[in-house]
Amino acid sequence: MKFVPNILKAFLINLCFIGIIFASDSCPSISPKVAGVNPTDQVEAILNDIVCSFVELQSSNGGNLASTLNLTKKKILPYINLEYFTEMALGSYWSQLEIREKKIFERDIKNSLIKDYVDILANFTEWEDIQISVNENYSQNENIAKVKVSLSLDSDNTIVTLKLIRTNRWKIYDIEYQTISIVDMEKIGYDSKIKRKGIKKLIQKMLQSS
* Domain total of the chain: 1
Name which of 61-75, 87-101, 176-190 the model is least confident about: 61-75
- Report the DSSP beta bridge partners of residue 177: 160, 180
> Which CATH number characterizes residue 63's domain?
3.10.450.710
Q: Helix, strand or coil for residue 92? A: helix
pTM over 0.75: yes
pLDDT for the residue numbered 41: 87
Domain that holds residue 11: 3-209
When computed from its CA atoms, the radius of gyration of the chain, rounded to whole angstroms, is 17
For residue range 107-156, what is the model confidence (pLDDT) as tens digits? 999 988 888 777 777 776 654 454 556 788 899 999 999 998 776 656 66
DSSP letter at 136?
S
